[in-house]
Amino acid sequence: MDISTLCVTGAGQMGSQIAMLGALAGIETRLHDISREQLDTAVATNRKHIQRRVDKAKMTADELEAAFGRLTSTTDLAAAGRGADFVIEAVVERLDVKREVFAELDRACPEHAILATNSSYLMSSEIAGATSRPEKVCNMHFFFPPLVMRLVEVVRGEATSDYTLAATVELARRMGKQAVLLHKEMPGFLVNRVLRAISNEAYFLLENGVASFEDIDRACRLGLNHPLGPFELADFSGLDIGYNARMEIFTRTGHEEDAPAPSLKSRVERGDLGRKTGRGFYDYSTDPPTPTET
């Protein structure tokens, strides 16, 4: 499949950088969001990131300008989808919102367009029914920050065709990523399932008073050689992401052990969402960051 036009909807932490990857890969990329302010922030932040590559002589100023010349932004989803060969959805992690966005994309995009979701926890089969093309819907799951992280999980939905999977893997490769293919859907896919097992155990140890979260982080860094401990990683990804993902699972299962831990819930309720708000499990106004109270 010749992908010459890409549409990315949702210009937050993920979508902004995914769109940049598209533009860097030589693809005409349209970035959509409901918020004009968010779009402007996304483009400005991308410029800062890519300027660093120019400063380090990893790319030229002309290449930077060419990439930004391929990146446009709009608050009009139908306009963004019109003529797009491939769409990556990265809007808020809410099934109702994603289904609405997919229904509108289905109406706006050409018949051949593939519609992929970057959702971390929602499976594409839950969304595909909102479209008339379930065989062209799959998960294309990037990792934060997409400009840096090299992995993409490509997940087959109940109706996803081989062609859709092959085109998605190929797009990931063009964006400089390595794809792993999941042959069936399972909530959390692959990496996040492994991560959740570690993180659940970390919350269990913390909530049961076995160790402080800073010691659990230290133990995972020094004892397992992980670059970040589970609480440092939670702050890095955004505590709301972990909280919402746990709430989704908890709502489904009703099992108390699937509910967000009190130490996570209290921080999210206070608006302490990790690095992006300057405070989560750690306070980032100090150097080095200091552990916060519950």
What residues act catalytically? 120, 141, 153, 192
**Residue 119 touches ligand NAD, criterion: CB under 6 A:** yes
Position 101 contacts ligand NAD (CB under 6 A): yes
Among 10, 230, 242, 280, binds ligand NAD (CB under 6 A): 10
Q: For the chain, give me the number of helices (H) and strands (E)? A: 12, 10
* Longest CA span, the chain: 56
The piece of 3-11, 154-162, 205-213, 278-286 that touches ligand NAD (CB under 6 A) is 3-11
Query: For residue 176, is it left (φ>0), alpha (ψ between -120 and 50) or beta?
Result: left
Q: Are 11 and 72 in contact (CB under 8 A)?
A: no
Question: Of these, 93, 153, 185, 248, which contacts ligand NAD (CB under 6 A)?
Answer: 93
Residue 289 lies near ligand NAD (rule: CB under 6 A) = no
Compute the Cα dihedral for 66, 67, 70, 73 and give only its sign. negative
Mapped onto helix, strand or coil, the DSSP state of residue 214 is helix
Find the shortest distance in angstroms from Cβ 47 to ligand NAD.
17
Burial of 200 (0-12, 13-18, 19+ CB in 10 A): middle
Nearer to ligand NAD by Cβ, of 33 and 232: the residue is 33
Q: Which of 3, 7, 8, 11 binds ligand NAD (CB under 6 A)?
A: 11
84 binds ligand NAD (CB under 6 A): no
State which of positions 217-236 bind ligand NAD (CB under 6 A): none
Site residues (CB under 6 A) for ligand NAD, limited to 174-213: none
Please give the C-alpha separations between residue 159 and each of 83, 91, 252, in angstroms, as whole numbers. Answer: 24, 22, 23
* By CB under 6 A, residue 142 contacts ligand NAD: yes
Least distance to ligand NAD from the beta carbon of 198, Å?
A: 16
Q: Is 152 in the site for ligand NAD (CB under 6 A)?
A: no
Binders in 26-55 for ligand NAD, by CB under 6 A: 32-35, 38
Is 151 among the residues that bind ligand NAD (CB under 6 A)? no
The least distance separating ligand NAD from the CB of residue 55, rounded to whole angstroms, comes to 26
CA distance 206 to 210: 6
Q: How many chain residues bind ligand NAD (CB under 6 A)? A: 28
Q: How far apart are CA 151 and CA 177, in angstroms?
A: 6
Range 138-161 burial, b when 16+ CB lie within 10 A, else e: bbbbbbbebbeeeebbbbbbebbb
The CA-atom distances, in angstroms, between 168 and each of 117, 142, 173, 180, 199 are 11, 12, 9, 11, 29
Of the candidate residues 23, 175, 237, 274, the single one contacting ligand NAD (CB under 6 A): 237
Question: Could you identify the residue written with the tokens 């139908």?
Answer: 78
- Residue 109 as a binder of ligand NAD (CB under 6 A): the answer is no
Using CB under 6 A as the binding rule, whether residue 238 contacts ligand NAD is answered as yes
Residue numbers at the binding site for ligand NAD (CB under 6 A): 9-15, 32-35, 38, 90-93, 97, 101, 118-120, 141-144, 237-238, 241
